[in-house]
């Protein structure tokens, strides 16, 4: 039985939240990395240093790696999307792009100096199912040909309900894929129209059922609150429809309004809900999901107790990187494709964002990196604590660590967070209270030494 209590938040709750929203709704990172991209020291990053970091990470991690493949093409522009994409209906470009992906992979194979053990492959985008099933098979076969698969490998892909076909699911399942993520965002047709993302409930239902038929054991839905023309009652209806299809996990993100990055977002600014309405939408959705068996995980995820994401959270093994929350923590993530980001744990590297530049660099047999960062000792310490907070809602430290970084936290902000009842802060660590979970980005900002020491004004979406 689906439990939905479509009751608007009380005036007391709205007043309570409004005070904190006014105080904490500031631009801030989502912490898929630390340091965050705007605070990378790119001038110190070279291809030779990156190759050394990759080689060191490869052997340090027992040759185990995760792969993220960026497939940037979409047939139409979803105006809410902040990802790096290329809009086209020309499918002849598929083969060339895959050829260059595999060329980049060959360069990494040479850098490793040994046969990699692949624990994870994730196809992101863009729209991975823009590519034909046959071309996706060519890609996966090329990636795995000179590699070993770990015993617990996990393959997943992001799909659009409109063009994820039975042939896609059949082919990917045969290649070992068991996870599918569908970008739903909202079932309300008015919201879909204004963000140019149209798919019906019946299409989503059909693709979900087909995936389960072909053995996919984990189905995720991406939902977004704070979109233009969204209402609290509309969110409640979308959540009810989602629960009816019972995906194994749900990512319930706050919409990131970044018109300085994506100009198309300017067209609907007058229709955006207020920060207080956004938080009411999230509270409404969270309450319904938890009343129907989903568990609150990390910053913005929910999962059934049978899903591996919940199991990772419950056992303290949840990880977060540029792919979001994941159950795999190899500490060596290689991103292939235009604009992809890689992480060796001690360094980050991002590929060229222009497709022409990506191709040009590979034509010269160069890794197509455009910027990156070598982590300092302080970076590594702070990174671990922010990761712990994002994944486990708590972190502990030794006094020697604090001495190493010169007590490099924003203690004034931490004290305020304690006063507001959001965290417990002691000499040995931080624990986030239930009241503080919606403010987790703000809490992590208190530990972000590069953010609060910086004189530059980085551009981030609002935290609430």
pLDDT of 226 higher than 90:
yes
Q: What is the pLDDT of residues 290-309, one digit of tens each?
A: 999 999 998 889 999 999 99
End-to-end alpha-carbon separation of the chain, Å?
A: 32
Q: Which of 17-26, 219-228, 299-308, 389-398 has the lowest mean pLDDT?
A: 17-26
Q: Which of 85-94, 241-250, 354-363 has the lowest mean pLDDT?
A: 85-94
pLDDT of 1 higher than 70:
no
- C-alpha–C-alpha distance, residues 126 and 391, integer Å: 26
User: CA dist 417 to 217, 393, 411, 413, 439, Å?
Assistant: 40, 14, 10, 6, 9
434-458 mean pLDDT: 85
- Who contacts 39 (Cβ-Cβ below 8 Å, separation ≥6)? 450, 451, 454, 458
Q: What is the pLDDT of residues 55-68, one digit of tens each?
A: 999 999 999 999 99
Tokens of 40: 């990378």
- C-alpha–C-alpha distance, residues 229 and 267, integer Å: 12
CB-CB contact of 159 with 181 (8 Å): yes
pLDDT of 435 higher than 70:
yes
pLDDT band at 122 (very low <50, low <70, confident <90, very high): very high
Q: What is the pLDDT of residues 169-212, one digit of tens each?
A: 999 999 999 999 999 999 999 999 998 888 899 999 999 999 99
Q: What's the confidence (pLDDT) of residue 16?
A: 55
Q: What's the confidence (pLDDT) of residue 17?
A: 63
Q: What's the confidence (pLDDT) of residue 5?
A: 52
Task: Work out the burial of residue 456: count CB atoms within 10 Å of its CB; fewer than 13 is exposed, 13-18 middle, 19 or more buried.
Answer: exposed
CB-CB contact of 216 with 169 (8 Å): yes
The mean predicted confidence, pLDDT, of the chain is: 90
pLDDT band at 15 (very low <50, low <70, confident <90, very high): low
Task: Work out the burial of residue 315: count CB atoms within 10 Å of its CB; fewer than 13 is exposed, 13-18 middle, 19 or more buried.
Answer: exposed
- C-alpha–C-alpha distance, residues 135 and 148, integer Å: 21
Q: Which of 18-27, 89-98, 124-133, 275-284 has the lowest mean pLDDT?
A: 18-27
Which structural domains are found in the chain, ordered by start? 18-26+376-453 (1.10.10.920), 36-335 (3.80.30.20)
90-103 mean pLDDT: 96
User: What is this structure's pTM?
Assistant: 0.91
263-289 mean pLDDT: 88
Q: What's the confidence (pLDDT) of residue 243?
A: 98
Per-residue exposure over 284-304, b if at least 16 CB sit within 10 Å of its own CB, e if not = bbbbbbeebebbbbbbbbbbb
Cis peptide preceding 75, ω within 30 of 0: no
Q: What's the confidence (pLDDT) of residue 455?
A: 66
Sheet containing strand 394-396, edge to edge, reads 394-396, 429-432, 423-426
pLDDT of 461 higher than 80:
no
pLDDT of 7 higher than 60:
no
Q: What's the confidence (pLDDT) of residue 79?
A: 79
- C-alpha–C-alpha distance, residues 98 and 23, integer Å: 47
Nearest one of 107, 101, 111 to 140, comparing CA atoms: 101
Sign (positive/negative) of CA torsion 114, 115, 117, 121? positive
157-180 mean pLDDT: 96
- C-alpha–C-alpha distance, residues 222 and 213, integer Å: 21
Q: What's the confidence (pLDDT) of residue 458?
A: 63
CA angle 253, 85, 111 (to 5 degrees): 100
């Amino acid at each position: 039985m689906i439990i939905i209590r479509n009751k608007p938040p009380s005036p007391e709750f709205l007043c309570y939240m409004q005070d904190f929203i006014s105080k904490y709704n500031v631009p801030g990172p989502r912490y898929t990395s630390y340091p965050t991209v705007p605070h990378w020291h790119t001038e110190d990053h070279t291809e030779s240093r990156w190759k050394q970091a990759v080689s060191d990470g490869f052997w340090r991690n027992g040759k185990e790696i995760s792969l993220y493949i960026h497939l940037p093409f979409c047939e139409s522009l979803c105006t809410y999307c902040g990802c790096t994409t290329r809009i086209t209906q020309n499918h002849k470009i598929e083969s060339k792009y895959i050829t260059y992906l595999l060329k980049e992979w060959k360069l990494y194979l040479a850098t490793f100096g040994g046969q990699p053990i692949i624990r994870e492959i994730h196809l992101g985008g863009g729209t991975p199912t823009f590519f034909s099933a046959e071309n996706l098979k060519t890609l996966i076969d090329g990636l795995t040909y000179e590699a070993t698969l770990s015993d617990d490998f996990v393959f997943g892909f992001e799909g659009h309900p409109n063009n994820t076909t039975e042939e896609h699911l059949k082919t990917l399942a045969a290649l070992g894929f068991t996870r599918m993520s569908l970008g739903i965002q909202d079932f309300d047709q008015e919201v879909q129209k204004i963000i140019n993302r149209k798919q019906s409930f019946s299409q989503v239902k059909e693709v979900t059922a087909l995936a389960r038929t072909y053995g996919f054991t984990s189905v995720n839905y991406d939902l977004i609150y704070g979109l233009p023309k969204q209402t609290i009652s509309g969110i409640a209806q979308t959540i009810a429809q989602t629960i009816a299809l019972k995906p194994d996990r749900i990512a319930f993100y706050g919409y990131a309004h970044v018109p300085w990055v994506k100009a198309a977002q300017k067209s609907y600014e007058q229709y955006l809900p207020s920060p207080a309405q956004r938080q009411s939408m999230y509270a409404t959705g969270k309450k319904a999901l938890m009343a129907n068996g989903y568990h609150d995980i990390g910053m913005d995820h929910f999962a059934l107790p049978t899903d591996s994401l919940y199991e990772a959270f419950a056992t303290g093994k949840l990880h977060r990187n540029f792919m979001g929350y994941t159950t795999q923590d190899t500490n060596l993530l290689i991103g292939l494709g235009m604009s992809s980001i890689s992480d060796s744990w001690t360094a980050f590297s991002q590929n060229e964002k222009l497709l022409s530049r990506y191709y040009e660099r590979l034509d010269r047999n160069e890794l197509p990196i455009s910027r990156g960062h070598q982590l300092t000792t302080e970076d590594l310490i702070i990174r671990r604590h922010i990761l712990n907070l994002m994944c486990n809602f708590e972190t502990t430290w030794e006094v020697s660590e604090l001495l190493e970084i010169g007590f490099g936290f924003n203690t004034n902000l931490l004290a305020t967070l304690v006063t507001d009842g959001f965290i417990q802060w002691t000499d040995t660590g931080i624990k986030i209270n239930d009241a503080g979970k919606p403010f987790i980005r703000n809490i992590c900002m208190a530990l972000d030494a590069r953010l609060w020491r910086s004189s530059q004004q980085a551009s981030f979406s609002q935290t609430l």
